[in-house]
Structure 1
Amino acid sequence: MSGETAVPRAGDSTGARTVRFAGRIAGFGTASGTRIVAGLWQRSPFGPFADVMLEDAGGHRTLLAPSDEVAEFVSSTYSFDEVRVVPVAWHRITGGLRVEASGLEARLFVGAMPPLGRLLRVVPPRIATAPLWLEAIDPLARVIVPGVRTAGTAGGGRREFYGVTTLRRIAWAGARLDGVDLGAFAALDPPVRFGFGSAPPEPHLVDLVTSIRMPAAG
């Protein structure tokens, strides 16, 4: 799929603009304490790409990004202790997906759609991904799913909005890092600390559009 270009916000003469990333995010935990959030972005200013964010039991946060350009943008938006530029890829497998990134290999199997997922599908995507809507429902989102935010302040003076359109449970997942098994499938707990919000504690695969409002030029 072709990349989605960043465009200036309508009516903004200062040069402020909003960039959009459309794709999927999977988040889950492991018995070792390492939590994994993997993204598969089908449309973005950088074209299609995949990336992975890891936080271990000691709180060390690592970004695995496929290019210097992606690494610079993502690490300027979120917070990491380490950034690695490595090949990152997703592959379809029977019942789920496999993620590979340098020394990381993760597999996940997709389960049923929960009631919240069915509710999200009722909202037209045009509304569900609109920053004004996401700003308005952020207080409610925090109550419905603790730790989750739909709007907040990102790094570099940026404002970020998460518009989820579909949500499915992850039935099982497992991962190995540098040849070491990270342990049994677990909740994403404690919450990850890459940005202003975390993925849900219960492991999910979500379809979403992430909108990032960049600061005005100058």
Structure 2
Amino acid sequence: MSRASRMISAVTGRPRLRFDGWIAGVGTSSGTRVVLGHWPRSPFGPFSDVMVERADGERLLLAPTQEIADFVSGTYTFDTVRVVPVDVSVAQDTWTVTAAPLRLRFTTGRRGILGLLLRAVPGALARRPVWSALTDRPARLVLAGVRTRGSAGGGRREWYGAQDLRPIRALTGVLDGEDLGALTQVEPPVRFGFGSVPRQPSLVRVTTTVALPRNADDESGADHMT
């Protein structure tokens, strides 16, 4: 058993892992939708991963290590998983993503009223599952397709606490050598887990909490974060 697994199994109740970072969701005129997770702070250390749903419905995960690929594919549903380098760079309002078959660049705009309100949420509150429970229904009403809590794969539970939201205004991208086309709404919603990203292309500052099953001895890879 790994050191990380021993740490997890030593926690009473349902061990919880926390990921602090950003989620970007975009649609394209080719029909492909892309969800980027950029996690400067996580139980695996800093990393980024990309979830892609093609126009034909194939769900693809691009993850930087096998350990992360195993954890993410154990939480969400994919048809194909590829372990590839995933590099993300940020220069002011422009994000550049390179992940083997995918090259993506998008630019964010000024945050609106909802983004300003979310920035006022204290971090300690956003990390609490009870806050995610309280915001789940408003999120469904205001941000079509979004849920802030639900059941994930492998008997896991998951909560999202948002602290910022900025619109994505422009995008260029190539997947497997094919141009992804113009930026569009995320429509239809992506089908990786219990909820989708906002319909309008957005970059969300978020804390994600994953509760593992009580028998977590066989979970790969992650240090417990409180």
Q: Same fold (TM over 0.5)?
A: yes
Contact 1:23 1:209 in 2 (8 A): yes
Partner of 2:12: 13
**Residue type of the alignment partner of 2:182:** A
Partner of 1:188: 186
C-alpha distance in structure 1 between counterparts of 2:121 and 2:38, whole Å: 23
1:63 aligns to 2:48 (yes or no): no
C-alpha distance in structure 2 between counterparts of 1:6 and 1:135, whole Å: 30
C-alpha distance in structure 1 between counterparts of 2:43 and 2:5, whole Å: 5
Contact 2:53 2:190 in 1 (8 A): yes
C-alpha distance in structure 2 between counterparts of 1:115 and 1:7, whole Å: 41
Pair 93,179 (structure 1): closer, same or farther in 2 beyond 3 Å: farther
TM-score, normalised to structure 1, is 0.92
Contact 2:120 2:163 in 1 (8 A): no
Q: How many residues align?
A: 213
Unaligned runs of 5+ in 1: none
**Residue type of the alignment partner of 2:201:** P
C-alpha distance in structure 2 between counterparts of 1:33 and 1:88, whole Å: 22
1:141 aligns to 2:139 (yes or no): yes
C-alpha distance in structure 2 between counterparts of 1:181 and 1:6, whole Å: 45
C-alpha distance in structure 1 between counterparts of 2:96 and 2:214, whole Å: 39
C-alpha distance in structure 1 between counterparts of 2:93 and 2:143, whole Å: 26
Pair 167,94 (structure 1): closer, same or farther in 2 beyond 3 Å: closer
Tell me how far 1:139 sits from its aligned partner.
1.7
Partner of 1:111: 109
Unaligned runs of 5+ in 2: 217-226
Deviations 1:160-196 (A, max 9, x none): 0011111111111121012210111111111000000
**Residue type of the alignment partner of 1:101:** A
Pair 6,37 (structure 1): closer, same or farther in 2 beyond 3 Å: farther
Bigger RCO of structures 1 and 2 (CA < 8 A, at least 6 apart): 2
